[in-house]
Structure 1
Amino acid sequence: MRALRANLDGLLVEVDDLDQALALLASLQEDPPAGVTELVPAARTVLLQFDPSRTTAQRLAAEVRARDLRGASRSSGASVDIEVVYDGEDLAEVADLCDLSVEEVVARHTAPEYTVAFTGFAPGFGYLSGGDPVLRVPRRATPRTVIPAGTVAVAGEFSGIYPRSSPGGWRLLGSTDAVLFDLDRDPPALFEPGGQVRFVAVREHITGSAAQTRAQATPEAAPTTAAPAVPALEVLDPGGQSLLQDLGRSGVAALGVSPSGAMDRGALRRANRLVGNPPGTTAIETVLGGLTLRARGDVVVATAGATAPVTVAGRSVEPETPVALDDGETLTLGPPAAGVYTYLAVRGGLDVAPVLGSTSRDVLAGLGPAPLAAGDVLAVGTASVDAVTREPGPDLPGPEGSVTLDVVLGPRTDWCTPESLDRLTGQDWLVTPRSNRVGLRLEGAEPLTRRITDELPSEATVAGALQVPPSGQPVLFTADHPLTGGYPVIGCVATYHLDLAAQVPPGSSVRFRVVEPFADLVAGQRGDTA
């Protein structure tokens, strides 16, 4: 058993196999250690996320090692048949990699009964074990940016089905119209750990489109009101992208759901404090300006985060300052001179129904209120008002600027060459336009290289993780990152720098600086026992 650091508030415990991982999970669920806030199981690991004010990584590591994992067994679950049209883009390539015909691949994929080992990556995504060993193929060297909902795929020892359109690096075999995740179903996920799955080959075309499958699987809470509300904010123009965000979801990892929440949590808190709201109150997160709102009734708003110019009824007002809007007045955010995400809070908050305990929109999972659109009317809540406080925000990078981010090594630093660690910290990394709320896609002149080229069994990922695909160009996971992934993480941007990382615009660059905040954890950060 090894205990590996995963940022400043995570411990990744590695065991010998899936059975031990499930046994450890069962033990931790039955008797949770003090300070642990979330458990995320995977193929060979269990991630313990914890509150650093209540416990330490060393204390957790010692407690986990003392657990007796003998005699634990997997829980049983329901059996599900999945009809599949084997028409995937990678079907012929998988056949070549396995030295089989396409027909033989289909026959071998449909023959076994699979077990749902664990869930992750996205809500409803089950990692299905027990497949034919001949079909074990590596992930793609470069992940696809979009894989349609309902796609059946394989990677390493697992099969899986993408519950909605999302990025991914698995090999695509076919498609199904089974609904993997439905909030109106109890439980929402079709696959439960310990359940059994069989794939059934069918020749008919899929009856539901990917868009229909996505809509069924992840219903969206509409932010609009059925009748005119007063007070309210009417969206005249959402700009490039405007979402509702709070501080995210907790305690739902068992459903395969990541925390999500505001990209710049500090800016969300500052905007709310400026109007007297509790710091985690729902606000509007908008990207690179362009948002235009009209007040219905008298409201008080404030912005924080990216330094976007603010105009009210044609006059300029100071950002990060409470502003009173009279009935009918409009507010517009221009393009920011620095940063990416601007937060607009309204006194009293926004009256929006939560999904799984949060009003945050998770763009990877498709959970939460839909992105704002012209014509939406957001009712203002009646929450009690606290004292208004103003605090300065940090300096943010502008276009083509540069910022230095602290990195905590681990959990898989030892999977990369020593030269890669030098490259990680010794060069600028360009933030490419393909970056979003899932992650910042980085590009360096010298890519990172791996010392261990084997497939990494899927394991939990955390916000700030610097995942290294075979291309060597890292991805810095942000708010809507997948719950699990299969590429090694060389290090994690320190939790206190995640807000700053979120505000680096495309075209700017980042440099990384390794920090060792606790001397006695250096070994753990480098991939040894913590």
Structure 2
Amino acid sequence: MTVRVLPVGDAALLVELDDGARAVALHADLGADPVPGVGEPVPGARTLLVPFRPGRIGAGDLERELRRRAAARRAAPDGSAARTVEVPVVYDGADLPEVAAHLGWSVGELVRRHAAATWTVAFLGFAPGFGYLTSDDPDLVVPRRATPRTRVPAGSVALAGPFGGVYPRDNPGGWQLVGRTDAVLWDVDRPEPALWAPGDTVRFVPADADQVGTPRPGRHAGLPTRPRSTDPEPADLGPADPAPAGHRLEVVAAGPQALVQDLGRTGAARWGVSGSGAADPRSHRAAQRAVGNPSGTAGIEALGAGLRLRARGRVVVATAGASTATVHPADGGAPREVPPSSPVLLTDGDELALGVPRRGLRTSVAVRGGVALPPVLGSLSTDLLAGLGPAPLAPGTVLPVGPAPGDAVGLHDGGAPDPHHLPAPGTTTELPVVPGPRDDWFTPEALAVLTAQEWEVTDAADRVGLRLRGAAPLTRTRDARDAELPSEACVTGALQVPPDGQPVLFGPDHPLTGGYPVVATVPTTHTWLLGQLPPGARLRFTVRPPR
């Protein structure tokens, strides 16, 4: 048996095993007998990502424990809890003729074999409820599309490599589309939001077009009858009960983008859900600390300038991050600037406005008591890729405020942290990276280019990731040039490299798994900077040893 343990930044290890069954067995073993200091592992096609807290366990000690457990060859789950899920399919996908031709079959033969095969859910990733399905038909193997689609409709039945899958919602994607279904893959109102779980059996049943409609949220088509476990352990969100009547924040203007954020979701990776959370957790914590909230309390994350909030009742707010903040009194008095990371009292009708950032990109706004909305899977974070959490804020939105914590600081007890320099367009920021886990897919020249040249943040940048542009692309080795990496888990700060050699730096809303190699990973000490990199900013990567 071959076991490789590869570094992923400073707080995760990627265990590469011979096959998916061994990855599932190791995942089950860690679930049954957790290692202190280890977070929620995320399985891939033949890997297991194991996050850990360096203050609790060292990378070397964890690697030895993972190798010991992998070598023990413990049995995978016996499958007694597995279910069979039937999925109706209309076989009219845009790529159906091309896929059939690639396999040397007629369209009818492809449909027959796809429906006759027994599919098994290997793992969940990419998007909430997206299952990677393996088939007992060894010939159902097709390459990904050379150019991914910018939008794949929800319910699309697809193939890529040795896997089958169904898109739970509209997403970009490079899989080959062979059909469509109205089965609802993901519904947070169900006891188990995902339609299936690893180990379940899936049968695709041919259907006529008039028998299959459009997937609708909340519809339970194809839901197995036997429920599984309950919600994951909730994150520390701080107060959850509403404030007294009249204590609210009204959104007068939202600017380019304003989202409700906390420090992210935990315990939901088994459904294909990534952590999400504040893009700049350092600023989020500073703002929450200034108003006396626990650091995990939900607040507002504003992109650029333009957010304007009106107090309904008396509320205490603070800001931290990129923008300057100004209070406009309801009585028409002179506006006054608010020092960063310092609490300020807004009386009824007062407005807080964010100005144009001098440096950086995002600003965190905290309110004493926190934003008091119902959490989704244990968190109030808005995950734009997954479509989870509160909708982006819009003018007229009224946010309820929770009660003040019992140990809230006084209005003048919060001090601003030491000022730090945020990135700006045209300036260069040094960002450390830990090589791997897939740096061996790239030539020595490419690894030298990674750190030798500067990279510009392009306009294609959001909470999912930042597309970078460099004068010289990163080239793969000859052996890896035409290879496809089996899908494996990724983390915030992963520097993923598509075939064109121009990297994408993953943000908090990144897909849980991906199929392009990650050349290096930003350590957790610096991922807060990713939320403050505006288009036009320049990066120079410096190598940090993995341990």
Q: Same fold per TM (> 0.5)?
A: yes
Sort the Cα spacing of 1:98 and 1:423 in 2 relative to 1 into closer, same or farther, 3 A.
Answer: farther
Matches within 5 A, 1:84-233: 84-130=89-135, 132-204=137-209, 208-209=213-214, 212-213=216-217, 229-233=245-249
The superposition leaves residues 61-82 of structure 1 with CA deviations (integer Å, 9 ceiling, x where unpaired) of 1112212114434524111111
Amino acid at match of 2:520: G
Higher mean displacement: 180-189 or 200-209: 200-209
8 Å Cα contact 1:238/1:374 also seen in 2: yes
8 Å Cα contact 2:155/2:181 also seen in 1: yes
- C-alpha separation in 2, matches of 1:72 and 1:227: 49
* DSSP-derived class of the 2:366 partner: strand
8 Å Cα contact 1:142/1:470 also seen in 2: no
Matches within 5 A, 1:381-392: 381-384=402-405, 385-386=408-409, 388-392=414-418
Match in the other structure for 1:14: 16
1:396 aligns with 2:422: yes
Match in the other structure for 2:384: 363
Sort the Cα spacing of 1:124 and 1:233 in 2 relative to 1 into closer, same or farther, 3 A.
Answer: same
8 Å Cα contact 2:252/2:308 also seen in 1: yes
Match in the other structure for 2:435: 409
Match in the other structure for 2:484: 455
* DSSP-derived class of the 1:367 partner: coil
Amino acid at match of 2:338: E
1:64 aligns with 2:90: no
Which one of the candidate residues 338, 350, 353 is aligned to 1:318?
338
Amino acid at match of 1:69: R
Match in the other structure for 2:455: 429
- C-alpha separation in 2, matches of 1:446 and 1:203: 50
8 Å Cα contact 2:435/2:546 also seen in 1: no
Which one of the candidate residues 344, 348, 360 is aligned to 2:369?
348
Identity in percent: 55
8 Å Cα contact 1:36/1:49 also seen in 2: yes
8 Å Cα contact 1:7/1:495 also seen in 2: yes
* DSSP-derived class of the 1:476 partner: strand
8 Å Cα contact 1:141/1:469 also seen in 2: no
Structure 2 gap segments, 5+ residues each: 222-240
Shift of 1:454: 1.7
Sort the Cα spacing of 1:335 and 1:141 in 2 relative to 1 into closer, same or farther, 3 A.
Answer: farther
* DSSP-derived class of the 2:31 partner: helix
1:75 aligns with 2:96: no
Match in the other structure for 1:221: none
- C-alpha separation in 1, matches of 2:129 and 2:211: 19
* DSSP-derived class of the 2:86 partner: strand
Sort the Cα spacing of 1:129 and 1:142 in 2 relative to 1 into closer, same or farther, 3 A.
Answer: same
Indicate the RMSD between aligned Cα atoms, in angstroms. 2.3
Which one of the candidate residues 296, 299, 315 is aligned to 2:312?
296
Shift of 1:357: 1.2
Amino acid at match of 2:278: A
Matches within 5 A, 1:331-346: 331-346=352-367
Sort the Cα spacing of 1:215 and 1:236 in 2 relative to 1 into closer, same or farther, 3 A.
Answer: farther
- C-alpha separation in 1, matches of 2:515 and 2:64: 27
- C-alpha separation in 1, matches of 2:109 and 2:519: 38
8 Å Cα contact 2:319/2:325 also seen in 1: no
The superposition leaves residues 277-334 of structure 1 with CA deviations (integer Å, 9 ceiling, x where unpaired) of 2222111001112111111012121111113453524624134132222211222212
- C-alpha separation in 1, matches of 2:546 and 2:102: 45
Sort the Cα spacing of 1:302 and 1:178 in 2 relative to 1 into closer, same or farther, 3 A.
Answer: same
- C-alpha separation in 2, matches of 1:33 and 1:241: 40
Match in the other structure for 1:261: 277
Shift of 1:147: 2.2
Shift of 1:206: 7.5
Shift of 1:99: 3.2
* DSSP-derived class of the 2:177 partner: strand
Shift of 1:392: 2.8
Match in the other structure for 2:515: 486
Structure 1 gap segments, 5+ residues each: 218-224, 519-530
Shift of 1:184: 2.0
Match in the other structure for 2:536: 507
Shift of 1:93: 3.1
Sort the Cα spacing of 1:115 and 1:147 in 2 relative to 1 into closer, same or farther, 3 A.
Answer: same
- C-alpha separation in 2, matches of 1:340 and 1:458: 32
Match in the other structure for 1:526: none
* DSSP-derived class of the 2:282 partner: helix
Sort the Cα spacing of 1:149 and 1:295 in 2 relative to 1 into closer, same or farther, 3 A.
Answer: same
Amino acid at match of 1:502: G
* DSSP-derived class of the 2:404 partner: coil
* DSSP-derived class of the 2:459 partner: coil
1:243 aligns with 2:259: yes
* DSSP-derived class of the 1:397 partner: coil
8 Å Cα contact 1:164/1:214 also seen in 2: no
8 Å Cα contact 2:284/2:320 also seen in 1: yes
* DSSP-derived class of the 1:369 partner: coil
Higher mean displacement: 390-399 or 247-256: 390-399
The superposition leaves residues 214-254 of structure 1 with CA deviations (integer Å, 9 ceiling, x where unpaired) of 9989xxxxxxx999941110111211111110111112211
Sort the Cα spacing of 1:140 and 1:206 in 2 relative to 1 into closer, same or farther, 3 A.
Answer: farther
Higher mean displacement: 431-440 or 129-138: 129-138
* DSSP-derived class of the 2:425 partner: coil
Sort the Cα spacing of 1:251 and 1:417 in 2 relative to 1 into closer, same or farther, 3 A.
Answer: same
Sort the Cα spacing of 1:57 and 1:141 in 2 relative to 1 into closer, same or farther, 3 A.
Answer: farther
8 Å Cα contact 1:408/1:516 also seen in 2: yes
